[in-house]
Amino acid sequence: MLSLKSGAPLRVDDKIMLEISELPEAGNHRQADLVLPEKREPALPPTVDVLQNEFQRAVENKEHEQAATLRWILGVLQDANE
């Protein structure tokens, strides 16, 4: 879904492409079931408090890359509010 929304190229296995591209034989007309995801409201961005809690959790768990990313995001938000 994200690929469709962002316009990124889709990668599909050759076997799958062959299966979906075959024409049905006469008298064997099947309709493929297509189930679309339910429409949802866009998620709200996390609050600064949530980001700070996630940052603290990442530091405590020694998740350095996650902590660095959260620290950068918090800095950007702080600069935007000044």
Helix (H, G, I), strand (E, B) or coil at 74: helix
Please give the residue range of the domain that contains residue 82.
44-82
Q: Is the pLDDT of residue 51 over 50?
A: yes
Most confident range, picked from 12-16, 39-43, 62-66: 62-66
Taking the CB of residue 48, how many other CB atoms lie within 10 A of it?
13
Contacts 24+ apart (CB under 8 A), 61-65: none
Residue 19 maps to a domain: no
**Span 28-34, mean pLDDT?**
53
Residue 2 maps to a domain: no
Q: How many domains does the chain have?
A: 1
**Span 36-58, mean pLDDT?**
86
Residue 69 maps to a domain: yes
More confident residue, 31 or 45: 45
Residue 50 maps to a domain: yes
